[in-house]
Amino acid sequence: MIFSKSFAYALRGILCISHTVDGTTRIRVEDISKETGIPKHFLGKIMNKMVKAGMVSSIKGPSGGFSITDKTLEVPLIDLYYLFDGAQLFEECSLYFKTCSDENACPIHFKVKETKNNIRVLLTASTIGDLLKEDKRELLKNIAIG
């Protein structure tokens, strides 16, 4: 897998929230967990990390929950990726050699370099809002695990 579970769960959590009645209605972590099949405690940590990064908003209390904002829709996927996965994919050697660069390349350096660059371009050029342009019914069916 290219992306971590944390990144995928974060993205699925945002997509789930965005499919509330108006996209800004607050939804509890328990409800997101139930809808997506993501473990509640793991999801709670992920959602709170996104709140601290300003990607989603939350209100505590009985009528609280998480919601998206206008800023959420503008977040490039690369920002979400870096929040959960860091820059490791783009900066470290795929074979974990201590030294790997164009000048001192590992055996697969040049073979994966273009793929890594394509992934970076895709994540940089795509926003969370771009993903919401798809057919919502199909997307909702596919958000849930298994």
pLDDT single digits (tens) 80-93: 999 999 998 898 99
Of the chain, the percentage scoring pLDDT greater than 90 comes to 66
On the question of pLDDT at 1 being above 70, the answer is no
What is the arithmetic mean of pLDDT over 65-72?
Answer: 88
- In three-state secondary structure terms, 76 is strand
Which residues face 59 on adjacent strands? 65
On the question of pLDDT at 145 being above 60, the answer is no
pTM, two decimal places: 0.85
CA triple 76-6-15, angle to 5 deg: 55
Average pLDDT, the chain: 88
Confidence category of residue 25, pLDDT binned at 50, 70, 90: confident
Q: What pLDDT, on a 0 to 100 scale, did the predictor assign at position 53?
A: 96
What is the arithmetic mean of pLDDT over 18-44?
Answer: 86
From the number of C-beta atoms within 10 Å of its C-beta (0-12, 13-18, 19+), residue 82 rates as middle
Report whether 132 contacts 15 (CB < 8 A).
yes
Of 40-44, 90-94, 124-128, least confident by mean pLDDT is: 90-94
Confidence category of residue 45, pLDDT binned at 50, 70, 90: very high
Report whether 59 contacts 65 (CB < 8 A).
yes
> Domain 5-141 is in which class?
mainly alpha
